[in-house]
Amino acid sequence: MNKLLLLTLSSLTLFAGGAIEGEVQRQPLNVSAIIMFLVFVAATLGITYWAAKRTKTAKDFYTAGGGITGFQNGLAIAGDFMSAASFLGISGLVYLKGYDGLIYSIGFLVGWPIILFLVAERLRNLGKYTFADVASFRLKQTPIRTLAAFGSIATVTLYLIAQMVGSGKLIQILFGLPYELAVILVGVLMILYVTFGGMLATTWVQIIKAGLLLSGATFMAIAVMAHFGFSFEALFAKAVEVHPSHNAIMSPGGLVSDPISAISLGIALMFGTAGLPHILMRFFTVADAKEARKSVFYATGFIGYFYVLTFIIGFGAVVMVMTNPQYLDAAGKIIGGNNMAAIHLSHAVGGNFFLGFISAVAFATILAVVSGLTLAGASAISHDLYANVFRRGRVDEVQEMRISKIATIVMGIVAILLGIAFEKQNIAFMVGLAFAIAASANFPVLFLSMFWKKLTTRGAVIGGSLGLATAVMLVILGPIVWQQILGFKEAIFPYKYPALFSVTVAFVGIWFFSITDKSEDAQKEQEAFEAQDIRSQTGIGAEGAVSH
């Protein structure tokens, strides 16, 4: 069972957990991969230069001036979601366990329609730069923004560490570069993109990468299907024949073992997605609610299509990688671990050149995702903490921009240092924790601020903090940290996904401390709901969304 837990998490955590853990073997320098990667870097730096000339105001920096179209934003959101974790992790999970990989993909996808129906357009109509704008719309700025900024920075930092460590190890394997150099390279490039090009450069880097990744994965999936005369039955039949688990790979295999874990995982994936600051921020880059809706439609389409591709790629790897001694070590295990299944398959279907292409795309994927994360973290520091909490909104734009650039550089350096510090640590819990915090602190406050009239500052601050504390505590007491990292015999909290409990605590806490809040301020906050609701429903008064 433990093995299964680890495996599940490894797909969530960008190969931080299972396969690429601890020491990894450096591969010989891969020249075609490096050349293609350099081409990508040169192109994206060119875009950054172009974007820098167009990034003059704070609005440009945080939201690309609100001028991204729904289609472009859809691709960028899909790009944020199609991280190296999804591509390599889920195809690796399919390679190892078959059907279970699909269960994971579906969990990641189904949050999107809900975000569209309930959150996307209200968010666009109420917010300016960060989701804290929305949460603090009619509540007290200082406490709400502090809480939201804290939730954002915690989520972003945990996610960044996992990405940095994953990228260092991946680059070590793919390109044969030393770990520290890889981490520094990623950090420096992301600082350049974000500091100079702001959201415009970050978005276009993400769009280009999404295009490359979708094309590469499409080519691989078609190559696999062509091999089997485009018959799924033939592909599955061969996979079942060669896979050591045989028929078991065609049915659910214990990824989700009990109803509590199942529901808890579902809640973490669904509400966590709706509480990730770098994803929420993307809704402010489009002109109005109409474009915001379109972006989710395109994003859901691209993400869904991508998950179907990874499923085919995983099965393709079972047939073409598992049976080929070229990709296996002396013990018959896949070289580099299960998360390398897609990489080896790229060699099997397209030779050295295509292997180089896919490796370069995997590196580009990491760069694009960490840039979005850093921008979201820097915005929480400069827009929420500095401009609105520390200076109480009395700050000019030039100064706020300057702070956001300094914050970007600091976040980048911190990410590099933490990436190096955590090289040999077990970081399997980090993305899970990031999702848990997003679902239990960010999401409940954001959601209730838009939907519940009776929400008060006191309720939001106490309930949100309780959710945050519960999520952190249950992860520490759970099987991953308590048992596997701290080495205790039995976990105090038996489930590895705390979301069901911590999200409940947050909602109940917010409800209770709001309805018992009889202060004068609370009454004013409740009275202000109507004006907020009208704006969220119609866009009247919203930034850049007014037609006259």
Partner 1 sequence: MTKEMIEHIRNNPKYQMLVKKRSRFAWTLSIIMLVVYYAFILTIAFDPQLLGTPLGEGKVTTVGIPVGIAIIIIAFALTGVYVKRANSEFDDLSREVKAELEKELAKDAS
**Three-state secondary structure along 29-53?**
CCHHHHHHHHHHHHHHHHHHHHHHH
Q: Stretches 89-97, 117-125, 375-383, 465-473: which one binds partner 1 (CB under 8 A)?
A: 117-125
Our CB check for partner 1 shows the closer of 343 and 503 to be 503
Nearer to partner 1, 181 or 534 (CB): 534
| Residue partners of 130: CB distance under 8 A and separation at least 6 | 62, 148, 152, 277, 280, 281, 284, 376, 379, 380, 383, 384
- Minimal distance in Å, beta carbon 34 to partner 1? 36
CA distance to 14, 164, 416, 424, per residue, from 421 (Å): 17, 10, 9, 8
Q: Which is nearer to partner 1, 170 or 270 (CB)?
A: 270
CA 465 to CA 441: how far, in whole Å? Answer: 7
Total residues at the site for partner 1 (CB under 8 A)? 59
Q: Which of 24, 41, 43, 103 binds partner 1 (CB under 8 A)?
A: 103
CB of 517 to partner 1, least distance (A): 23
Task: Tell me which stretch binds partner 1 (CB under 8 A): 105-113, 442-450, 462-470, 518-526.
Answer: 105-113
Considering only 196, 297, 495, 511, the residue that binds partner 1 (CB under 8 A) is: 297
Task: Give the DSSP letter of residue 28.
Answer: P
Taking CB under 8 A as the criterion, which residues in 178-237 touch partner 1? Answer: 232-233, 236-237
Please state the φ and ψ torsions of residue 286, each to the nearest 5 degrees. Answer: -105, 165
To the nearest 10°, report the CA torsion of 130, 134, 137, 138: -150
Per CB under 8 A, contacts with partner 1 among 347-386 are none
Among the candidate windows 170-178, 193-201, 299-307, 341-349, which touches partner 1 by CB under 8 A?
299-307
Residue 1: CB minimum distance to partner 1, A: 15
Characterise 136 by phi-psi region: left (phi > 0), alpha (psi -120 to 50), beta (else).
alpha
**Of residues 227 and 535, the one with the C-beta less far from partner 1:** 535
Tell me which residues in 240-269 interact with partner 1 (CB under 8 A).
240, 247, 250-259, 261-263, 265-266
**Between 92 and 111, whose beta carbon lies closer to partner 1?**
111
Q: Are 332 and 144 in contact (CB under 8 A)?
A: no
Going from the C-alpha of 321 to that of each of 15, 222, 336, the distances in angstroms are 19, 16, 12
Dist CA 212 CA 217 (whole Å): 8
Among 48, 83, 91, 105, binds partner 1 (CB under 8 A): 105
**Count of other CB atoms within 10 angstroms of residue 430:** 27
Q: Which is nearer to partner 1, 34 or 116 (CB)?
A: 116
Q: What letter does residue 68 receive in the DSSP assignment? A: B
> What residues line the site for partner 1 (CB under 8 A)?
99, 102-103, 105-107, 109-110, 112-114, 116-118, 121, 232-233, 236-237, 240, 247, 250-259, 261-263, 265-266, 270, 289-290, 293-294, 296-297, 300-301, 304, 307-308, 530-531, 534-535, 537-541, 547-548
